[in-house]
Each structure stands twice: as C-alpha cells, then as structure tokens.
Copies of this chain bind each other. A is one copy, B any other.
Amino acid sequence: MIKKIYVLGAGAVGCYFGGMLARAHQDVTFIARPQRAKALNTSGLEMDCKAFHETIQVKASSELSTLKDADLVLLSVKSLDTERMLTEVKSILPSKAVILSLQNGVANIDIASKIISNPVYAAVVYVAAGMIGQNTMKHHGRGELLVGKLSTASLADETLQDICKLFEGVGVPCSIAPQIKRDMWLKFLVNCSFNAISGIGQISYGEMVKSPYIVKLIEEITKEFLTIAALEDVKISLSEALAANDSIATTMVTQVSSTAQDLAKGKMTEIEFLNGYIVELGKRHGIPTPYNESVHALVKMMESKIR
C-alpha cells in the first residue's frame, strides 16, 4: 500500500505530479531547498494549470530525515544531483520504500540502482511546465506518465499497478509500459532534439522549428542519436523518431526546454545527461557525433558564461 509519498526535488515536474497527488488529498511531502520548502509550507503550492488554477495546502521540508517512513519516493531532482542525493538518503530510506524516477535522460536508473538497494522504477514524463515563483508552478500542457521496470517484463508487477492506480486516481493518465527502456530512449531523443537548441536560443519549440535550418539540425542530431541507440540495443526507426520530434513541436508549441529555463536562471543544466551523454556513448563506441557535440559545447559555454 502506498501511503506516505515524498517528492524528492520540488522543481516543475515534482510540483506538477506531487501537486496533483496532494490536491486529491494523498499524503505528500515535498523535499526542497529551505527557501522553497518555507514558501510551500507558508503559502501552499500555486498550481496554474491548463485545466484549473488553485493553491493547494502542502507539506514541505528540507530535512532528508523525514523520508524515514516513505512508501513511495518520486525522484525529480536534476540528473546532476541523483548521485549525491541518493547517497545522502541511502541510510534514511526504509527498505519498503519504492523509488520512481521522473527524470530526464537514460542514466539515472543505473546510477540510482548502484547506490541503493530499494527498487527503482522508471517513469517517462511528458509535461510542459515551469516554476514561475518559489511556490508557483505554471503548467502549459500534457502531464501523462509511462511507468515500468528496466530489468524484466513489468505488466504483472504489483508495485507498478499500485503506482498506476495511484496516479489514475488523481487524474494523471498513467500506463505501464512493457518496453520502458525504449520509451525512455524516445523521450531521451526528444530531449536531445529540443533541449539544447531551445536553451541556446532561449526559444520555444514552436518557434525553433519554423527555421528550416533547425529542422535539418534536429534531423542530423536524431540520426546520430539513432546510431548510438542501436548500439545500446534500442531500435528506433528514423520515421518513428521524426514523428516523435514532430509531436513535441506540435503539442508543446510555446514551451521552452528545462535547459533554457536553467540557463535563464543562471543554473547548471542537465546537458551532460542529454546530448553530452550521446557524445560520451559515441566516444565509447567509436562513432562520431558532431551535431550533438556542437550543441553540447555551446550549452557548456552558456553555463560557463553564467558562473
């Protein structure tokens, strides 16, 4: 039974899904930096969503020790922080606690599983959202989850069924994905296609693809990605990949990427886990990835500029 839910990392993704749970009176605690925890406790979580605009009373804390009674942990810190964060909570989490990673990239599950023995499930998240204040989350569209297990066939997994029921019960579409690794790579693909470029140009997905040069650049990034994916045993056809890219550009027209949001806020981005990871895998496999390398280098430059 999932009773005590913790959101580890109260960014836009954590606040959207944690907020949906809290709004439906689930027992949710947000673990956040002191300033955000204080704002959430004092003023509640303002959810400025497509379907509603409400301020929800929520519990928040910056004390990791509160995690000691966790049933479910929604892991929504930046990929950059996965290793450090799980190392810190390792001795606190009870053995019954289940972790669901809502993060970008394809490296987090492996990183987490190496640190802790709790089961780590994967969620592929499609939501357009951003924090526009300490306790205000702005939702631009979508908000569905695909959940699964990397290791074995997962349709009959009871924990996954519980997680799905939990989310479905609060109005978040959620399905169990029999091939979650492939779904993660498809999401990873669109992150590689859109995040860096949107960040470099501080430009929305809809605006980006108005430039034929960017459409071509995305296609080249995608081709390199698919070569690497195949070497990692993930087969995605070019037409399927381009359709996935297209669907982002058309369902999240006004969205700017989390990379763009991070750069605008003067924060480090997840680029090492996006195009940077493709470049790294390319080196490992001896495959050149010049297009991914170019956008990766430019995002690194933007990061170094703000430090």
| Chain A residues engaging chain B, CB cutoff 8 angstroms | 197, 200-201, 203, 207-208, 210-211, 213-214, 216-217, 220, 290-291, 293-298, 300-302, 304-305
Contact = CB atoms under 8 A, between A and B. Distances in A.
A105 to B, nearest CB: 19
B216 A301 contact: no
Q: Residue among A214, A220, A300, A301 with the most chain B CB within 10 A?
A: A301
Contacts of A291: 290, 293-294
A294 B295 contact: yes
A217 B294 contact: yes
B294 A290 contact: yes
A298 B301 contact: no
10 closest A-B pairs by beta carbon, nearest first, are A294-B294, A213-B297, A290-B290, A217-B297, A213-B300, A211-B301, A211-B304, A214-B301, A201-B301, A290-B291
A284 to B, nearest CB: 17
Contacts of A216: 293, 297
Nearest to A271: B213
B305 A201 contact: yes
Nearest to A198: B301
B214 A297 contact: yes
A297 B295 CA distance: 11
Contact of A298 (B200, B210, B305): B200
Contacts of A301: 197, 201, 203, 208, 211, 213-214
Given A217-B294, A290-B290, A294-B290, A201 B300 contact: no
Given A290-B291, A291-B290, A305-B201, A298 B217 contact: yes
Given A207-B305, A211-B304, A304-B210, A201 B298 contact: yes
Contacts of A214: 297-298, 300-301
30 contacts: A197-B298, A200-B200, A201-B302, A201-B305, A203-B301, A207-B305, A210-B304, A211-B301, A211-B304, A213-B296, A213-B300, A213-B301, A214-B297, A214-B298, A214-B301, A216-B293, A216-B297, A217-B294, A217-B297, A217-B298, A220-B290, A220-B293, A220-B294, A290-B290, A290-B291, A290-B294, A291-B294, A294-B294, A295-B298, A298-B298
Given A201-B305, A213-B301, A290-B290, 16 more contacts: A197-B298, A201-B298, A207-B305, A211-B300, A211-B301, A211-B304, A214-B297, A216-B293, A217-B293, A217-B297, A217-B298, A220-B293, A290-B294, A291-B294, A294-B294, A295-B298
